[in-house]
Amino acid sequence: MRVRLSPPARLGIFRPRLPPSKYVANRALLLAALAEGTSLLRGLPENDDLRAALAFVEAAGARPERVGEGTWMVQGVGGRPRFPAGTRIDLGASGTLARFALAVSALSDTAVVLDGSTRLRERPMEELLAALAALGARVESTHGRLPVRVSGPFVGGERRLSGRKSSQFASALLLAGPLTPRGIRLGFVDPPVSASYIDLTAEVMALFGGRVVRNGGGGYGVPAGSGYRATSLVIPPDPTALGYFAALAALVPGSSLEAEGTFARPFVGEACLLEFLEAMGAEVEAGERGLVVRGGAVPLRPLGRVDAGACPDGVPTLAVLAGTAPGESLLTGVGHLRHKESDRPRAIAQELGRLGLETDAGPEGLRVVGRHPLRARSTVFTSHDDHRIAMSLALLSLRLGATEIEGAEAVSKSFPDYWRALAALGFTVEEGP
């Protein structure tokens, strides 16, 4: 699908309707499925990843039941997934679900085969598979990628991870940790990328009665045999979805994004994106009650060299903004993004290159030399089948005018209503084949 966007005449004050956080929802749904009792989850998002997660927990023996719009009752399995013999599960394109599902499936006495899309089969799993095998699970794969056949006994114990490949490996092991007889003790060779997501995992686990402890060396531990108990939870708004609208405000002087309650702990998520927006010239007021972002500097200021590893899903957005800021921005700590739904540094560098900008997705990070005003060689971009790339490229319409994005349907992975949300702000959105 191709979308053609034209920007509104003005934005003014706007309060977009945001989808619920898929980060929290992914974790909460799996923990509700593992818990003893029936949990009530309000605000589960409607997207491709969550549909795959619902299918997975149902196959594991949990009983999710929709009782209202975005509201689900989930009867858990009491700590022991029960897959029918011969079960094979398609996880779609969700890398997060794949990593979590591998650890959860290792708690089962029955072997299950986990598979997914062509891109998901390419994404790295070797380190997690090796950790599961070392901690007692039975794991069979070809070249450490999906499809994977996995079963228990996942007994737990101590494991050291590289830290530089994916925070989801650590989160997966921690999620299953309370249900193992030995618990989990994790250390890292290097400080873990996207460590805020490991902390988010620990915070959601705590809501279900799980306990994660930090040690002085930067590692994590989970006591054995504590299990999970059912709870009621309202899924908060998605912080990365909010980031696209915060970026819109940053690009338009006189505009103001207002969002209530988004940055209350424990669901801060990628709040570091706000620090970068402020450094580029936006006015940001964030607190326990909500967030306000106002457009400030024109043009935006380049970032220079910054470590963007703590807000990985916001990197395409930062790169697009950097393309409008005259000067050099070098986003480091982004090497692991080569293994997302696309090779994100390369994909966004390629698309910004269509504007004649100097870009480099190299070993040092993602380098963008921005320009103001932009002089477009082409205003037709491609999403690379990546929802984050598609949504970030939409921001360019504020500088280029009418802009087209091919593969716009990729947004269904996390924010199916994204194009309607832009239309509600005054963008002209035309969909075509």
The verdict on 329 and 287 lying in the same domain is: yes
The verdict on 334 and 221 lying in the same domain is: no
What integer is the mean pLDDT of 62-79?
A: 97
The verdict on 191 and 42 lying in the same domain is: yes
The verdict on 307 and 420 lying in the same domain is: yes
Amino acid letter, residue 312: P
List pLDDT tens digits, range 82-101. Answer: 999 999 999 999 999 999 99
The verdict on 303 and 426 lying in the same domain is: yes
The verdict on 311 and 390 lying in the same domain is: yes
The verdict on 38 and 14 lying in the same domain is: no
Q: Is pLDDT larger for residue 27 or for residue 291?
A: 27
- Residue 98: predicted pLDDT: 96
List pLDDT tens digits, range 16-67. Answer: 988 898 889 999 999 999 999 999 999 999 999 999 999 999 999 999 999 9
What integer is the mean pLDDT of 307-327?
A: 93
The verdict on 92 and 132 lying in the same domain is: yes
Looking at the predicted structure, is the pLDDT value of residue 264 above 50? no
**pLDDT classification of 267: cutoffs 50, 70, 90:** very low
Angstrom distances, CA of residue 7 to CA of 2, 278, 319, 324: 16, 23, 20, 16
The verdict on 319 and 352 lying in the same domain is: yes
Last residue of a domain, one of 211, 234, 257: 234
Looking at the predicted structure, is the pLDDT value of residue 265 above 90? no
What integer is the mean pLDDT of 147-152?
A: 97
The verdict on 43 and 120 lying in the same domain is: yes
**pLDDT classification of 309: cutoffs 50, 70, 90:** confident
The verdict on 386 and 417 lying in the same domain is: yes
- Residue 352: predicted pLDDT: 96
What integer is the mean pLDDT of 76-81?
A: 96
Report how many domains make up the chain. Answer: 2
List pLDDT tens digits, range 187-245. Answer: 999 888 888 889 899 999 999 999 999 887 789 999 988 899 999 999 988 888 989 99
**pLDDT classification of 261: cutoffs 50, 70, 90:** low
Strands 213-214 and 220-222: antiparallel
Last residue of a domain, one of 192, 209, 234: 234
- Among 173-187, 199-213, 279-293, the range scoring the smallest mean pLDDT is 279-293
Last residue of a domain, one of 207, 234, 261: 234
- Residue 164: predicted pLDDT: 81
What CATH number does residue 252 fall under?
A: 3.65.10.10
User: Which residues share a beta bridge with 259?
Assistant: 291
Q: Indicate the average pLDDT of the chain.
A: 92
**pLDDT classification of 270: cutoffs 50, 70, 90:** low
Domain range for 46 is 22-234
Yes or no: say if 61 and 107 are a contact pair by the CB < 8 Å rule.
Answer: no
Active-site residue set:
313
What integer is the mean pLDDT of 72-76?
A: 98
The verdict on 295 and 322 lying in the same domain is: yes
- Residue 432: predicted pLDDT: 87
